[in-house]
Structure 1
């Protein structure tokens, strides 16, 4: 893979992380999210053997529009970029690092995901039963780490079980993208030192 193409694929995967974070923030505060973005993020969890990075997100960058805008805002240091979204994104990257070092948990997740994929064939990727299974998988694995992501929002919204399950599923989607980002050579220091490179890669990736 050429360095330019690798930069583009890194940018897309990182946009996947920021999209999940942005969706968590939207859901926690409004109780609703954009369906296209939500479906793209959830479906990415179930793509475990992709041909390329775009295949993880439905074959085009369209479903990542929210993540691309959010990541671009972070890189440009826009004042309207929510601090909560940035905290969720950075926390997702941290949890991915913890998960990457736990082979037993990774194997357990891989086995459970195969079951969830079979379930999605009977329903749909975003059916409430599939969301509940992904949320349960998150609780049984990622949530057992001492570090947990504290989601802030409207208490009445977060108390609803269906919303809580969607939040967990979206955090799982963020970690899936974080794993992909790392596999493609993404590193946290690049977020600080390679801002122009990320912007250029985003612009190029959206033309794919």
Structure 2
């Protein structure tokens, strides 16, 4: 399977895994989250490695595919496929695409004053997700611990991770990804993911 497609898919999977973990236990490793935040603002990367500030930063996603999704929670798998479907809806909605692009450009100007992990940036991305992607179908319903999900900063983080997943899904499609290419067991996804891991 195309290496760039596998990298992008692994980033989608990493977003999905982190959303599930955040919704259930309320915390995630910054070193796994931050590369996904970085991808949101990587508007003109020279290559796919630049999108995530290095392929090694999406190791958890690559490991998920290399192991055939055996250790990926079922809810995370649902988020993964939902993100791909949601991006497809977005690609067919030029008005929402325009609003999303404009919103991200506006938020990126704040990076002159705030780090990308600052709550001001996270809240801005989450609000943009609510204004755009949450209105499209399929609407992603996040399940988890209600005591965790009731915290505004957690829901903001979750929406930000979902938007990062959409960013990677767009990248996957730009590299020629299709739903047909995800069918098991005919694709070479696990094999390619394993090969990339060996190179990291």
Give unmatched runs, 5+ long, in structure 2.
Answer: none
**Aligned-residue CA RMSD in angstroms?**
1.5
1:27-66 map, 5 Å: 27-58=22-53, 60-66=54-60
The equivalent of 2:62 in structure 1 is: 68
How much has 1:187 moved relative to structure 2?
A: 1.1
Relative distance call for 1:194 and 1:23 in structure 2 (3 A) is: same
The equivalent of 1:127 in structure 2 is: 118
Q: After TM superposition, what 4+ stretches of structure 1 lie above 6 angstroms from structure 2?
A: none
1:109·1:137 contact (CA, 8 Å) conserved in 2? yes
CA separation in 1, counterparts of 2:180 and 2:19? 24
**TM-score, normalising length from structure 2?**
0.94
Give unmatched runs, 5+ long, in structure 1.
Answer: none
2:3 corresponds, among 2, 8, 13, to 8
1:1-208 map, 5 Å: 7-58=2-53, 60-73=54-67, 76-78=68-70, 80-193=71-184, 196-206=187-197, 207=199
Deviation readout 1:108-127 (Å, 9 max, x if unpaired): 11111111111123111111
Relative distance call for 1:28 and 1:187 in structure 2 (3 A) is: same
SS of structure 2 residue aligned to 1:149: coil
CA separation in 2, counterparts of 1:54 and 1:25? 25
CA separation in 1, counterparts of 2:181 and 2:170? 15
**TM-score, normalising length from structure 1?**
0.91
Deviation readout 1:6-25 (Å, 9 max, x if unpaired): x1111000001000000001
